[in-house]
Structure 1
Amino acid sequence: MPVRTSQSSQGSRGRGIGLGLALASAVAFGGSGVAAKPLIEAGLDPLHVVWLRVAGAALVMLPLAVRHRALPRRRPGLLAGFGLLAVAGVQACYFAALSRIPVGVALLVEYLAPALLLGWVRFVQRRPVTRAAAVGVVLAVGGLACVVEVWSGLGFDALGLLLALGAACCQVGYFVLADQGAEAGDEAPDPLGVIAHGLLVGAAALTVVARPWTLDWSVLAGTSDLNGTPVAAGVLLAWIVLVATVLAYVTGVLSVRRLSPQVAGVVACLEAVIAAVLAWVLLGEHLSAPQITGGVVVLLGAFVAQSSAPAKDSARPVARGGPDDPERELSAPGATA
């Protein structure tokens, strides 16, 4: 049947584009830590770096927020949740953890999020979970035990680990909220509008917490040390704002809309690998063999836990919107038979 073949082809292309966007987002997010840590070591408070990152990105996206100015009236809860969890919560917890533990370790803990997302699907959305998914969670937790070297009496800063875990919880909110509203089809909120307003909400919340009026602006006029190489602080900040925030959020949210929170979460795990490699090469942060092994097991566990979750398939001929259908289509406008 030609119509079915055409829909299948479009669905395959859509998934391919979604995977490409998810990979681009992982690379962009993965470069944030290595650019932020030199600024923190140069004298900036971690919360000040987060505020600069989010406020700068909010300014870049401000024209889109103006264009979608009706969105706060239509979806105030979505924008508030996205701004407080997916923007302010993730960034504040991650950067605070970054000041206490290595970049690679902070991200590996943060990327327990796919396993936590599985718990959300099972216990909050009350959807079935496969045995493979449960095995993946066990692998992820076991790998984390190797990363933090529990046999040595928790060698890493306990508060740093808790902050990284907080970032993981907030990242679950990022994947869930990025997909919210997509079931509305053509009436779904524009993802760029959600990101723009979410950044504004996040910047406002961080302004209260970070108190940027106490920021040492002179640090941004100087240079920061990148493993022995002086780099202009302004260049590092521009990378954090334009690439590691604006580009990362745009490609990330678009990938969730084309795939699903679970599948996008699997690809996002690559961020931990990318960040760990960059930290090793650019910052000289070396991990021990057990920690590297544990990190691989964490990523393997996250992948196994989520690999059974199907991507959104616009060619699947099922009725959409059923609350009891665990594989129901969430965002395929115009995909009716």
Structure 2
Amino acid sequence: MQESRAGHGSRGPGFGLGLALLSAVAFGGSGVAAKPLIEAGLDPLHVVWLRVAGAALVMLPVAWRHRSLVRDRPALLAGFGLLAVAGVQACYFAALSRIPVGVALLIEYLAPALVLGWVRFVQRKPVTRAAAFGVVLAVGGLACVVEVWAGLGFDAFGLLLALGAACCQVGYFVLSDQGSDAGDDAPHPLGVIAYGLLVGTAVLTVVARPWGMDWAVLAGSADLDGSAVPAWTLLGWIVLVATVLAYITGVVSVRRLSPQVAGVVACLEAVIATALAWVVLGEHLSAPQIAGGAVVLVGAFIAQSARPGGPTAGDAVPASETELARSGRAT
């Protein structure tokens, strides 16, 4: 696994970490641009549809170039579109209508812990204590960043929707890692993203029903902390930076690192989103939020610097294969 990841180009893990951080920054900036559009009159689901559909349009030439993926990896493309694109967005925004934003965000970012569970118990691969400790720190820090104690209006179905968003985000990390060990036969990440966005657009079209959108909002302006900004500029940022750039850097970073490491680094998205809201929208941070952000940073660093553990019982090499290797007859 590690040899294959290291062989992805001439750059080492530091490059993958840089991509993961860039992806977190790009994803984290989506809310700052989306909130003024929603306040200007667009429905949240319509903003999501515009985001995904616009990104799919940008990536259409890439989809055509990698059209062989439709024949070779249809299940991967469908899964990525349903889970990593449509599922995360739809479940999260639906949860927001029933439970507080902070609670929904915290539950969604339980995904790194769920990723560790997937790796350990489904893929039966070792997980280091350092990586697990990093996840615990990151989730605890997120509880402070989103001030989960500020809103306790829990709704059972809303909690299930937020948990659904977390599970879909697990799908994003796991599916992004598909083919990391396949060398030249690995599905091209840009092709997977392009078709995932197309599938996501189709699904969200049914959910969001964009034909009822107030399109006139896009021709006007939106208020950004007292400044009038063209709505199309904000939409352009959401599409090009918070979606296209975010998905490209995110998927490539998962292949260069691992789902569990990239998942913990992605927790920084909540910290970045909160910091940007402070700077751009004037939504000030409290002392617990600042402290929580520092804890998330520490947790992400610990997790990304962890090294794979030794083989577990599920990874043990059969005795017959060991004997063949020693005798020089194994290939």
Q: Per the alignment, do residues 279 and 151 of structure 1 end up closer, same or farther by CA in structure 2, a change over 3 Å counting? A: closer
| Corresponding residue number in structure 2 for 1:83 | 81
Aligned to 1:260: 258
Closer, same or farther: CA 150–75 of 1 in aligned 2, 3 Å: closer
Q: Sort the Cα spacing of 1:143 and 1:162 in 2 relative to 1 into closer, same or farther, 3 A.
A: farther
Change (3 A) 1:325 1:19: farther
1:318 alignment counterpart: none
Q: Larger deviation: 149-158 or 282-291?
A: 149-158
Return 5+ residue gaps in structure 2 as ranges. Answer: 318-331
The equivalent position to 1:180 in structure 2, one of 178, 181, 204, is: 178
Q: Deviations over 1:207-263 (max 9, x none)?
A: 011111111101111111112221111100000001111111111111112222122
Paired positions, count: 309
Q: Structure 1-normalised TM-score?
A: 0.79
- Mean Cα deviation higher: 228-237 or 19-28: 19-28
AA aligned opposite 2:287:
A
Describe the shift of the 1:219–1:29 C-alpha distance in structure 2 as closer, same or farther (beyond 3 A).
same
Calculate the aligned-residue CA RMSD, in Å.
3.3
Residue 320 of structure 2 aligns with which residue? none
Asked if structure 2 preserves the Cα contact closer than 8 Å seen for 1:36 and 1:236, the reply is yes
Structure 2: distance between partners of 1:30 and 1:213:
28
Counterparts of 2:7 and 2:84, CA distance in 1? 33
Q: With the length of structure 2 as denominator, give the TM-score of the two structures.
A: 0.80
Identity value in percent = 83
Of 223, 226, 232, the residue aligned with 1:225 is 223
- Which of 49, 62, 65 is the equivalent residue of 1:64? 62
**2: distance between equivalents of 1:55 and 1:72?**
19
Match of 2:47 among 46, 49, 52: 49
2:315 maps to what in 1? 324
String of CA shifts for 1:125-170, please: whole Å, max 9, x gaps: 2223334444445445544555565666716888776654433322
Say which SS state the counterpart of residue 223 (structure 2) adopts: strand
Any conservation in 1 of the 2:265–2:304 contact (CA below 8 Å)?
no
The answer as to whether partners of 1:148 and 1:155 remain within 8 angstroms in 2 is no
> Does structure 2 retain, via aligned residues, the 8 Å contact 1:79–1:198?
yes
**Which residue is 2:322 aligned to?**
none
1:113 aligned partner, one-letter code: A
Partner of 2:278: 280
Name the residue aligned to 1:335.
none
Displacement of 1:95 in angstroms is 4.2
* Map 1:240-251 → 2, pairs under 5 A: 240-251=238-249
User: Are residues 12 and 164 of structure 1, via their aligned partners in 2, closer, same or farther at CA, if it must alter by over 3 Å?
Assistant: farther
